[in-house]
Amino acid sequence: MQERPFGGWPSPLSAAKATGAQNRLGQIVLDGERVLWLEGRPAEGGRVSLMALDRPGGGRQATELTPAPLNVRTRLHEYGGSCVAARDGLVVLVNDRDQRLYRRDADGSIRPISPDTGGSLRFAEPLIDWQRQRVVAVAEDHRTGGEPANLLVALPLAGGEPVILAESHDFFACPRLSSDGRRLAWLVWDHPDMPWDATRLMTARLASDGTPTDVSCVAGAGGGEAVLQPEFLPDGRLLYLSDRTGFWNLWQEGGEAPLLERDSDFGGPLWQVGNRWWTPIDARRCLVAWGEDGLGRLGILHLEDGRLATMDLPFADFTEIHAAGGRAVFRGSALDRTAEIAALDLESRKLEILCAAGPLELDPAWISAPRPISFPSRNGRTAHAFHYPPTNPDFRAPEGEKPPLIVRSHGGPTSATSPALRLGYQFWTSRGFAIVDVDYAGSTGYGRAYRDSLRGQWGIADVEDCIAAAEHLVAEGLADPDRLVISGGSAGGFTTLAALTFHDTFKAGASHYGIGDLEALMRTTHKFEARYLDRLIGPWPESAELYRERSPIHHTDRLSCPLILFQGLEDKVVTPDQAWAMRDALRAKNLPVACLEFEGEGHGFRSADVQRTVLLAEYAFYCRIFGIVPAEPLPPIEIENLDCRGNQ
C-alpha cells in the first residue's frame, strides 16, 4: 500500500462513472404478470422513459414503451410523482412537454386523451376506472393565473374534458378505487399544513355514473395527524398510514389502535405524490417497509394477530412496493450495489433482479460502507447520521494525518438521507475524503417528535446538528478540524449557507441551488411550499423580521470562508437570483467564490454532463482551497478573489 495525503488518492471511479452511468429507477406499475417502471436517463438529458417486462424470468429483456421524444413526467407540485397507470395492456401516462394525459394501446399507438392547454393543466397519479372507462387523476390547473387550483378529476379513456370529482381544498393526492368500483378514497390538505403536518382521508361512494356521493372524512378530521397512502384490501376494507400515535403505523378504517404499534415509521414525507411504502398482499397480509438500526427492512404484516415477519434481503432501502399474484415487486437499494427493481416470490423467497440502475464498475474493496452514528447536539438533542470513512485499497495517508470531512445536509428539510450506495459519495471517499450524511432535527424516519423538532428552528437546529456531527468526528480523531466542509442542495443548501454565515466551524462550503434569502423564497416559491415556512420559521408576513434574521444574504458581514455555488437557470423552486445575490455579496467582500450556472436545468440537475461538471468542479474547488494535489487533471474553474484570501 502506497502513502499519499488524504484527498489526492488515485481512484478508478471517475466523475463520469459516478454520475451519468446510472439511470434513475422510478415509479413501478403492475399489470397482471407485466412489470412496468420509469427509467430516468442522465445520458439523454434526464429524459424519463417507460419500460416493460412482460413475464419476468427466463432472461427476457425489457421493452421501451415510450421512445424519444416522449418524456414521462408530471410537474404537479413542481416535484412531480406517479404519472403512469396500466390495465389489461392499456397504459395511461403524462408527457412532460405538454403535461397532457396520453394512452398507449397494446398495438403501440400513443395518443392524447386530455385537452391541449400548453402545459397549464397538469395531471398526476392516474387511476384507471375500468368499469366506467375513465381515468381518475389529481390535477393542477394553472390556466386562471395566480395560484393554481388543485382538483380531483375524471376524464374518459377515449378522450375528453376533465370532470371535477372533488375541489375546495388546496391539495389532493392518493386516489384509490375499491376492487368493486363502488368506493373512492383520497387525501386532502390545506395551507398552512404540509402533507407531513396534517392531512385528511376522504371517502365517497360512487354512483353508477361515477359521481361521488356520501363524502366523509374517515381519518385526520381533528387535525395534527398526517395520513398517508390509503389502500383498499380485496375484501373492501380500507387501510392507511397515520402518525396518530407518534410514528407512521398502519391503521384500518374505524380502528381505535394501529394494526401494529411500533416506534418505527412505515411511511415518509409526501414530496412526490404516489409514493408507495406498503401494499396489500391479500385480505390477510400486507407487505410493509420500515427503518431499523439505520437500515430499511421489508416484512409481511399479518393482519389477524399483528405479527410482523421480517424478510432477510440484501437491501438497505425499499420503495415503490407492490404485490400481486404471489410475488412482490419493489425498488431495492443496497450498500454495495446500484439500485435495482426486484421481484420476490412470497412463498419460496426466491429473488429475481429485473433491472439495475446501471453497472457497478467498482470493486467492493473500494466501497466505503456507511456507519450509522448518533451523537449529542445542542439543547439535549440526539442527532443521527451516516459516516463514510475514506476507503482505498491502494493508498493510505501519512501517519497522523486526518482526512478532510464533507458534512452533507440533505434537502427538504422534511426528508432523510439513506445508507444506500451513492457513487457520488464513493467518488469522494475513494480519493481520501470522509463524509458524514446528517439526519438533522426535522428529518423523517425517527417519528413525529423528531420531525417536529425543527418547527420554528430552521436555520438553527439543523445547523447545530451538522456542526455537532463534525465536532463528534473530530473528537473521535476521524476528521481534520482545519478541513471541514459543508455541502447541501435546496433546503440543505440553506443549512449550508446558514452554517457558513453564522458559525466558524467550516472552512469552505458548496451550495447546490440553495436558499440564501428566505423573504425572496416566500415571494417567488410555488403553491406547494407557499406556506411551508410558516411551520419552519414563523407565519408570513407577521414574522418577516425573523425571516431576515435567519437569511444568510442579510448577514454576509459574518461570512468569512470560500463558497462555490451551483444553480440551474430554469429553477422555479429556488430562483437563480438567490445564487447571484450570494455570489455578489462574497464578491464585494473579496472572499473566494465560484458560481456555475446551467442552462436548461431546474431544481436538481438531470443531465449527465451537468452532474459530472458539478462533481468535478466541487472537487477542484476544495483542492485549490486546501492545497490538495489531485492525482488526476481537473477542469479549470474560475474562483474569484482566491488570491485575495490572505488579506481577509
Contacts of 564 (CB under 8 A, 6+ apart): 508, 509, 510, 511, 593, 594, 595, 596, 617, 618, 621, 637, 639
Alpha-carbon radius of gyration of the chain: 24
**The pairing of beta strand 212-219 with beta strand 200-206:** antiparallel
- Grid coordinates representing 6 are 488524504
Which DSSP state fits 536? H
Closest CA to 294 of 271, 317, 310: 317
pLDDT at 57: 65
Amino acid code (one letter) for 354: L
Angle at alpha carbon of residue 344, lines to 339 and 423, rounded to 5°: 10
Instruction: Count the residues in the chain.
Output: 648
- Return phi, psi of residue 536, to 5°: -80, -30
Tell me the mean pLDDT per 10 residues along the chain, length 648. 97 92 93 96 92 79 95 96 98 98 97 98 98 98 93 98 98 98 99 98 97 98 97 98 98 97 97 98 98 92 96 97 97 95 97 93 95 96 98 98 98 96 97 99 98 98 99 99 98 97 97 94 92 97 97 93 96 89 92 96 90 97 98 95 63
pLDDT at 648: 40
CB 37 within 8 A of CB 28: yes
pLDDT at 58: 60
Burial classification of residue 438, based on how many CB atoms lie within 10 Å of its CB (0-12 exposed, 13-18 middle, 19 or more buried): buried
- Grid coordinates representing 523 are 415571494
In the block, cell 452554517 appears at: 499
pLDDT at 632: 95
pLDDT at 361: 83
